[in-house]
Amino acid sequence: MTTTVVGGADAPPSRRVELDVSGMTCAACAARVESRLNKVDGVRASVNYATRVATVDAPGVVATDDLCEVVRRAGYEADLRAAGRDDRPDPDDAVARSLLRRLAVAAVLFVPLSHLSVMVAVLPGTRFPGWQWVLTALALPIVGWAAWPFHRVAVRNARHGTASMETLISVGITAATLWSLYTIFAVRRDQPTTGVWQALMSSDAIYLEVAAGVTVFVLAGRYFEARAKSKAGSALRELAALSAKNVAVLLADGSEMVIPAEELKEQQRFVVRPGETVAADGLVVDGSAAVDMSAMTGESKPARVQPGASVIGGTVVLDGRLIVEAAAVGADTHFAGMVRLVEEAQAQKADAQRLADRISRVFVPVVFVIALLTAAGWLLAGAGADRAFSAALAVLVIACPCALGLATPTAMMVASGRGAQLGIFLKGYRALEAIRAIDTVVFDKTGTLTTGHLAVTAVTAVEGWESDELLAVAAAVESGSEHAIGTAILSATDERVPVEDFRAIPGRGVTGTVVGRAVEVGRPAWVGRDKTIPESVGSARRDAESLGQTVVLVAVDGAVRGAIAVADAVKSSAAEAVAELHRRGMRTVLLTGDNATAAAEVAAQVGIDEVIAEVLPEGKVDVIEQLRARNRVVAMVGDGINDGPALASADLGLAIGRGTDVAIAAADVILVRDDLRSVPQALDLARATMRTIRMNLVWAFGYNVAAIPIAAAGMLNPLIAGAAMAFSSFFVVSNSLRLRKAGGVDPAPKGI
């Protein structure tokens, strides 16, 4: 996609180009592409690893094909990004499915290969005719086809003079395989061995089970990483799916023509009917309707719009027919801005490299240098070429990060299982790096602290009337209405009385005849327009409205008989959850698009420290950034579409499982149960998970560092190497299994 970029008076003509980049496997790849593009004269580029999009500001003299060629020379593929809606399949999901197929084949073949390889290496007497070919047939599909993703990246790195952990994995697998094949087919043991120790120390150098094991474990890590990334990236796809697909444009002769929403232009007028999504930001020129704004603004009550009112794209018309004049279309809409906010927030997280990637920049070249020095040292010491080569290969093999491949996925798998028991789902580990420092928890209001549905909070009846009687009469009339307030009143009583002569007056209320009595239920100004309002009813109305609640009056036979207050009810678990967070020394904030009065009342009920109300989605992101600028580490809890950007931009995002798909996709942690007590539990589980991952990584790298000198000294044989690697993996798995008891609610925070 190409757009014009307006510069200063002296700036050369330029344009903005968006390129789809494929082949990137980590944030380091994105940085490499970005660096290559920025070396072109006059070009400024930013590469988003999360979305695989390169945004390039390029002079007019630089062709798009030239930019794509720069990316290709860096070892990746690039094409001009198509304008409009992206309906392509998720690339991360495709990668995950490919890795799963390779992992399944490798795991099935690894079991017999590992047993047979160790047996024939230690006990030559067990060798049967054709054993060499059996081992080769079991190993080659694993170290060749299954490990191909690592080989492909290693070859690409070699072409461009770089190295990564994939380089070490590929070289280690290849070296172990080639040396094993040499040992199998070219080396014959002349002297039989006696005794267990002699058999162990003099076993043949068959490393096939090591090469296969590295492949299996690292593939498992890559698969779970790809699945987590696919889920994280789905926020953008979910947002795009929620936008209007088509729009009915109003022509000059009064007729309508349906066109794709992306073809809508500014100042064009379009029609929106009940149940349809508003296609663009605009101004209502005709019609009246209730519009559900909750997904975009957080306002719990539908807004009644009239001619002259503004509407936001992505909101839903509940009743009535609107004619809207488009004021902002395409990338300029409020909805498109939300998409960009989520995209930018996810890209910011992707820029945090994995610990393994950062260490590999030094670790990989150092291992290769040590292997070369080992070979040279043995040759200078008078050892044969076989001995020198064997020691050098042992260094490469033992340096292969087998345990590293298990460090993160095993912890995440165990934590996911424990989370399932607690109603908590951890989607990935990158954002969890900040969990140990979380000191501020920000809550959305509607649907998070509250139920998200209106409910009757109080019924006030005049003398001579019972509250239940008044509620039953009001419910009888409201049974014919589809309004949210009517639904709340109807749900508050089990009594069902038939209504006759039902009539709905849009924006005012409903009327009907109940058991021969004329009943009106609706706005106080409408119901009480020509009636005297009793003092008790007026006082109850003022009290309820001061708390941000909505009040309707009930009139029977021309006289006001009472008032019914409705509000978005606070969840029963909210106060306890907030108290648990306070006991952990955390500050709590209520951040909502709803009005300040309603927000303050909810905050007072649950004990929240600070209230920030009447904030739009982009404003929520600004608030999060302001808190972080004050050196606060922020966790965000939300459930709506409007919460997606804030959930993605916070240090840790927690989504209520009953919330929108966008919120769930943008968050790092999903609370499956609609119980806010899961929030402190999730933070405890996340802390424990991150602590376990760090311990696993330290052990994995520590094992490699400690084992390399042993291998260089020639003291390593295949069985001992296999046993050591198995022990390292066993430690990682055992440490991860401790998470099965994590996540309990404790009175005090635990450090990491």
Identify the active-site residue in 20, 204, 281, 444. Answer: 444
Token code pair at residue 573 = 């678990």
**Beta-strand runs (E) in 62-136:** 77-80
The packing angle between helices 165-186 and 385-399, to 10°, is: 140
Amino acid in the structure at residue 422: L
Q: Which of 577, 609, 578 is nearest to 591 (CA)?
A: 609
Nearest to 475 by CA among 564, 542, 551, 570: 564
Which residues share a beta bridge with 18? 55
Q: Helix, strand, coil: what percent of the chain each, to 5?
A: 50, 20, 30
Q: Which helix (H) or strand (E) holds 443?
A: strand 440-443
Q: Which residues, listed in sequence order, are joined to residue 611 by a DSSP beta bridge?
A: 590
Closest alpha carbon to 46 in 56, 32, 36: 56
CB 450 within 8 A of CB 572: no
Query: CA 606, 624, 412, 346 torsion: positive or negative?
Result: positive
The residue type found at 476 is: A
Range 658-680 burial, b when 16+ CB lie within 10 A, else e: ebbbbbbbbbbbbbbebbbbbbb
* Alpha-carbon dihedral sign for residues 532, 537, 541, 543: positive
Q: Which of 221, 211, 149 is CA-nearest to residue 404?
A: 221
Q: Sign (positive/negative) of CA torsion 361, 367, 372, 376?
A: positive
444 as an active site residue: the answer is: yes
Question: Distance between CA atoms of 497 and 517, rounded to whole angstroms?
Answer: 12
Four-residue CA torsion sign, 101, 107, 112, 116: positive
Rg (CA), the chain: 33
Does an H or E element contain 22, and which? strand 14-22
Instruction: Determine how many CB atoms are found less than 10 A away from the CB of residue 572.
Output: 11
DSSP at 11: S
Give buried/exposed letters for 119-135 (b at 16+ CB in 10 A, else e): ebbbebeebeeeeeeeb
Distance CA 734, CA 40 (A): 50
Q: Return d(Cα 127, Cα 355) in angstroms, integer.
A: 43
Strand 269-272's sheet: what is its strand order? 256-260, 246-250, 269-272, 322-328, 281-286, 310-311
- Record the tokens describing residue 634, joined without a space: 């922020």
Instruction: Please state, in angstroms and as integers, the Cα–Cα distance from residue 41 to each residue in 3, 48, 67, following that order.
Output: 19, 21, 11
| Nearest-angstrom CA–CA distance, 267 and 689 | 53
Report the DSSP beta bridge partners of residue 111: none
Q: Are 408 and 696 in contact (CB under 8 A)?
A: yes
Placement of tokens 């306070």 in the chain: 582
| Contact yes or no for 213/132 (Cβ under 8 A) | no
Question: What are the residues whose beta carbons fall under 8 Å from the beta carbon of 73, sequence distance 6 or more?
Answer: 36
Single-letter amino acid code for the residue at 665: A
Q: Which residues are catalytic?
A: 444
